[in-house]
Amino acid sequence: MLSVAVQSRRGMFELDVGFSMNEPGVLAIFGRSGCGKTTLVNVIAGLITAQRAQVTLAGERWVDSDAGVNLPPERRRIGYVFQEPRLFPHMSVRGNLLYGANRAPSGEDAKAVSIGFDEALQLLGLEPLMQRRPAQLSGGERQRVALGRALLSRPRLLLLDEPLASLDAARREEVLPYLEKLRERRIPMLYVSHQFDELLRLATQVIVLEKGRIVAEGDVAQVSRAPALRAIVGPDAIGAVIEGEVLEADPRSGAATLRVGAGVLHVIDAHAVVGARVRVQLLARDLILATIEPRGLSVRNSLRGIVQDIVHEPDADLVEVQVGEYKVLARITQAATAALSLQAGSNVWVLVKAVSLRPHG
Amino acid sequence: MLSDAELDALQLSLSVATRSVLFSLPFAVVVALLLTRRRFVGRTLFDAFVHLPLVLPPVVVGYLLLLLFGARGPIGRILAEQFDVRLVFSTAGAALATAVMSFPLMVRSMRLALEGIDPGLEQAARTLGATRLDRFFSITLPLMLPGVLAGAVTAFAASLGEFGAVITFVSNIPGETRTLPLALYTALQSPGGDAAALRLALLSFGLGLAGLLAAEGLARGLRRWIGR
């Protein structure tokens, strides 16, 4: 388990954060730029010393400011993937990959990531690049090499500080599947991002940071509904995330059905594999509420639920509806709330078009 | 083609410049590292001190060296008594004088190279388990090599031409401290030495040009090697 408590003040900025992470898994730290994410990660890595901090990983004390303990970064065994790839320009891809590997202590270490050289190459698709220099690689390739370099140093924890932020959308899509593979290998990761959709795909646990403090935490489903998130991602990006299992998939039409709790959800996912677990975000602005069962509509999903709560926002209402064991959020006008006389306890149908739902792996 | 005296002066110049560069190189690397990577009290003063030879008249530098390293100077006496080393009037002394004079040039070019290295690379090396010395030899030094080379070449060229500090500190002794510029000066001082002076001037010219071309070629190769 990783446990972290940090108090630090730099000028006007104050960071005061405490959390713990159950490994293995992906703990995502989410927040706007300037919220203290990178500072936090650098304290964990040991690149910054905070005024007061306690950091332990699996019983090993890395930082304890009260006891004067501060293990230097080179002895913490972390794999740090920075925002920029930071590859060594005078070494080939092979040289870069071996840099950390050659410096990692040999011998068995149950707590460390153990991944063979060839295995890592295959996992990250690096074989064709081995003899090249970093200057000859594309942005996505560089970041994959950086990921491989960090993995091969046999780290106990992977820190990823916005590893996709320097890439364009296409390159991000190129690297994301590799990160998902790492999650499947149960490598403990701390993933910093200001892109909610990345977290959606990767995180098992989320911390939302705002002005140096934690304003929401929990699993993706919990955090996706958190009011604190609304202020950060904006009303259009808010929506519940639910997880389901692929029941049917038709790669030709792209249509797929998910089993979600006791119900079924129709979605569009050309890459769906029957039996796989996927996450899908139901954006609040895409949901329609009805008080009677609708008929003759093209909308593919119609879910019965009960209104739990209505949050009045300046320009709309955010209605939380319990559907089976899931909660979803619908954003509707205040006039609509009034016309349907919605209140906590109302029975409703939640409508959402299948084409609005695009699951993530 | 070249007279014995000219050959002597040429050899001496090359020997003095080589020794001077080899001697000051490690110090220059350390000083450049201190000035770019460390914050310490008196850093600005130290910086100014290192750069003094650039702005002081060379004669002053030669004179200060004479005071320090002369037979009765505080360092000179220790060197003579403990190690039987005498710098005054010797080739080694000439090398020391040129080393001091060209030191700021060397440091300057290394500093530029160091400032061009992304500190993030050393951080990355650190998280990958590299200790301080390891980081220096595996990352910092290779990446600053073009700057080290440029500094060495500039210092070498400056050493070939150093006049004031050399003649003040170690005098003008044929075969011992009479380098090319000193030989040229001597030729100018002697009646009918114009032709000899011109030959020496042309020699210096050719030497400088060859040095610069060689340096450029080397730098190009190095840059390719470090992948920039």
Q: Is the peptide bond prior to A24 cis by the omega test (within 30 degrees of 0)?
A: yes
**What is the average pLDDT across A247-265?**
87
Flag whether residue A62 sits within 8 Å of chain B, measured between CB atoms. no
- Segment A208-215 mean pLDDT: 91
User: What CA–CA distances, in Å, run from A25 to A30, A181, A183, A212?
Assistant: 16, 12, 7, 23
Say what the pLDDT of residue A348 is.
94
| Nearest by CB: B120 against A82, A135, A150 | A82
Report chain B residues whose CB lies below 8 A from the CB of A82: 120, 123-124
Q: pLDDT value at position A35?
A: 86
Q: Where are the beta strands (DSSP E) in A251-356?
A: 255-260, 263-268, 277-283, 288-290, 301-312, 317-323, 326-332, 347-352
CB contacts of B128 in chain A (<8 Å) are 74, 99-100, 103, 149-150, 153
Residue A122: predicted pLDDT: 86
What are residue B141's DSSP bridge partners? Answer: none
pLDDT, chain A, mean: 88
Tell me whether A77 touches chain B (CB under 8 Å). yes
Structure tokens at A15: 């960071």
Which segments of A188-330 does DSSP mark as H helices, in order? 196-202, 220-224, 227-233
Q: How far is the alpha carbon of B117 from chain A, nearest alpha carbon, in Å?
A: 10
What is the distance between the alpha carbons of residues A20 and A57, in angstroms, rounded to a whole number?
10
Contact B226 A47 (CB under 8 A): no
| Interchain CB distance below 8 Å, B227 and A135 | yes
Of the candidates B139, B115, B116, the residue with the CA atom closest to the CA atom of residue B126? B139
**Contact list, B138 vs chain A (CB under 8 Å):** 99
Chain-centroid distance of CA A306 in Å reads 29
How buried is B192 (Cβ within 10 angstroms: 0-12 exposed, 13-18 middle, 19+ buried)? exposed
User: What is the dihedral sign for C-alpha A122, A204, A277, A161?
Assistant: negative
Mean pLDDT across the stretch A28-32? Answer: 90
pLDDT above 60 for B201: yes
pLDDT, tens only, A219-229? 888 888 887 88
Residue B120 to residue A89, Cβ atoms within 8 A: no
What 3-state DSSP class applies to A186?
coil
Interface test with A, best of B121, B128, B148, B226 (most A CBs within 10 A): B128
Residue B101 has pLDDT above 90, yes or no: yes
Of A73, A91, A133, the CB nearest to B127: A73
Q: Please name the residue of chain B whose CA is at the shortest distance from the CA of residue A150.
A: B128
CA count, 13 A, side-chain hemisphere, A243: 13
Check CB contact under 8 Å for B128 and A134: no
What is the ipTM score, two decimals?
Answer: 0.80
Query: At A77, phi and psi to the nearest 5?
Result: 60, 55
Question: Do residue B124 and residue A103 have CB atoms under 8 angstroms apart?
Answer: no
Q: List CB contacts (< 8 A) between B127 and chain A.
A: 45, 47, 73-74, 76, 78-80, 150, 153
Contact B127 A84 (CB under 8 A): no
Q: Does residue A253 contact residue A316 with C-beta atoms inside 8 Å?
A: no
Band (pLDDT 50/70/90 cuts) for residue A235 is confident
Residue entry with tokens 């006007």: A12
Q: CB A88 to CB B118 under 8 A?
A: no
The answer to whether B227 contacts A90, with C-beta atoms less than 8 Å apart, is: yes
Q: Which of A213-227, B71-85, B97-111, B135-149 has the lowest mean pLDDT?
A: B71-85
| pLDDT tens digits along A140-160 | 899 999 999 999 998 989 999
Structure confidence at residue A72 (pLDDT): 92
Give the per-residue SS3 of chain B.
CCCHHHHHHHHHHHHHHHHHHHHHHHHHHHHHHHHHHCCCCCHHHHHHHHHHHHHCCHHHHHHHHHHHHCCCCHHHHHHHHHHCCCCCCCHHHHHHHHHHHHHHHHHHHHHHHHHCCCHHHHHHHHHCCCCHHHHHHHHHHHHHHHHHHHHHHHHHHHHHHCCHHHHHHHCCCCCCCCCHHHHHHHHHHCCCCHHHHHHHHHHHHHHHHHHHHHHHHHHHHHHHHCCC
What mean pLDDT do residues A237-252 have? 87
Specify the amino acid at residue B113.
A
Which residues have CB under 8 Å from A160's CB, separation 6+?
Answer: A81, A179, A189, A190, A191, A192
Q: Which chain B residues contact residue A86 at CB under 8 A?
A: 118, 120-121, 123-124
Give the residue on A whose Cα is nearest the Cα of B139: A88
Distance from CA of B67 to the nearest CA of A (A): 46
* Chain A contact set for B131 (CB, 8 A): 74
Residues in B closer than 8 angstroms to A49, CB to CB, are: none
Cα end-to-end span (Å), chain A: 26
Residue B4 — very low, low, confident or very high, per pLDDT cuts 50/70/90? confident
Give the tokens for residue B212.
Answer: 């610069």
Over range B42-64, report the average pLDDT: 91
Q: CA geometry: angle at B134 spanning B49 and B123, to 5°?
A: 80
Q: Where are the alpha helices (H) located in A196-317, listed in sequence order?
A: 196-202, 220-224, 227-233
Residue B227, pLDDT score: 64
Backbone angles phi, psi at B12, to 5 degrees: -65, -45
The residues that bridge with A259 in the sheet, in sequence order, are A245, A264
Q: How sure is the predictor about A207, in pLDDT bands with cuts at 50, 70 and 90?
A: very high
Cα(A155)–Cα(A144) distance, integer angstroms: 16
Q: Per-residue pLDDT for B46 more than 70?
A: yes
Q: Are A7 and A16 in contact (CB under 8 A)?
A: yes
- With beta carbons under 8 A apart, name residues in chain A contacting B120: 82, 84, 86
User: Residue B121: which of A77, A88, A153 has the nearest Cβ?
Assistant: A88
Whole-number Å distance between alpha carbons of B172 and B191: 18
What is d(CA B13, CA B19) in angstroms, rounded to the nearest whole number? Answer: 10
